[in-house]
Amino acid sequence: GENVEQHPSTLSVQEGDSAVIKCTYSDSASNYFPWYKQELGKRPQLIIDIRSNVGEKKDQRIAVTLNKTAKHFSLHITETQPEDSAVYFCAATKGSNTGNQFYFGTGTSLTVIP
Amino acid sequence: EADIYQTPRYLVIGTGKKITLECSQTMGHDKMYWYQQDPGMELHLIHYSYGVNSTEKGDLSSESTVSRIRTEHFPLTLESARPSHTSQYLCASRRSAGRGGELFFGEGSRLTVL
């Protein structure tokens, strides 16, 4: 099956700086890579995703890049704000009709210091 | 409002008790999932379902069971609760058609077994 590794496990940045979280995956058939943000005591929520036919996707201050050859993808947050503090999870899945179980990374706890 | 609902939100029970955690979604999604998560930590897949009368085991399924008699309902049952079951249980769902697709999470059921 798929194996998703996520680094770092914890990350502290000063407000206004950038934060980068990296994930690697093992199954070259994986073709959908979402990122979830989980604030303290809340449910995980999708913040951005990328499909395997795209190398980069951007949404305001967040962006995701995908390198299919190296089998890794990264989340980039620019101009960080205190409200970005949360645990972030990457995931990988194959988009077939039946075999699309999500494989999550172990999470990155991001702290933005005001 | 279309959402995914979990009950109870909080539960404290004694060892050996049988409990059922309820999950219902009003989004018409075919696929549903149960994850176990200690606060801010990794998501572990317990069970998943691709539709009515379809259930599959995940990584931590050996001590629990699920059923999918109706599309919108996916209850999780612990036959004999133990202190090691103390955790948060997250239900999730997604649409079936097409590749990928956002995974929506419920607010979770936080279980404490004494």
Per-residue pLDDT reduced to its tens digit, A55-81: 999 999 999 999 999 999 999 999 999
CB atoms within 10 A of CB A40: 10
Q: CB-based contact (8 Å) between A98 and chain B?
A: yes
d(CA B9, CA B15): 19
> In this predicted structure, what is the pLDDT of residue B32?
94
Between CA B112 and CA B10 the distance in angstroms is 8
Task: Judge whether residue B99 has pLDDT over 80.
Answer: no
Chain B residues bordering chain A (beta-carbon distance below 8 Å): 31, 33, 40-43, 45, 48, 50, 58, 90, 96, 98-103, 105-108
Position A1 confidence tier, pLDDT thresholds 50, 70, 90: confident
Mean pLDDT confidence for B52-72: 89
Give residue B2's pLDDT band: very low, low, confident or very high (50, 70, 90): confident
Instruction: Give B-chain residues touching A111 at CB under 8 angstroms.
Output: none
pLDDT higher than 60, residue B63: yes
Closest B-chain CA to A100: B100
Contact list in B for residue A104 (CB cut-off 8 A) is: 42-43
**pLDDT value for B60:** 77
**Tokens 């700086």 -> residue:** A17
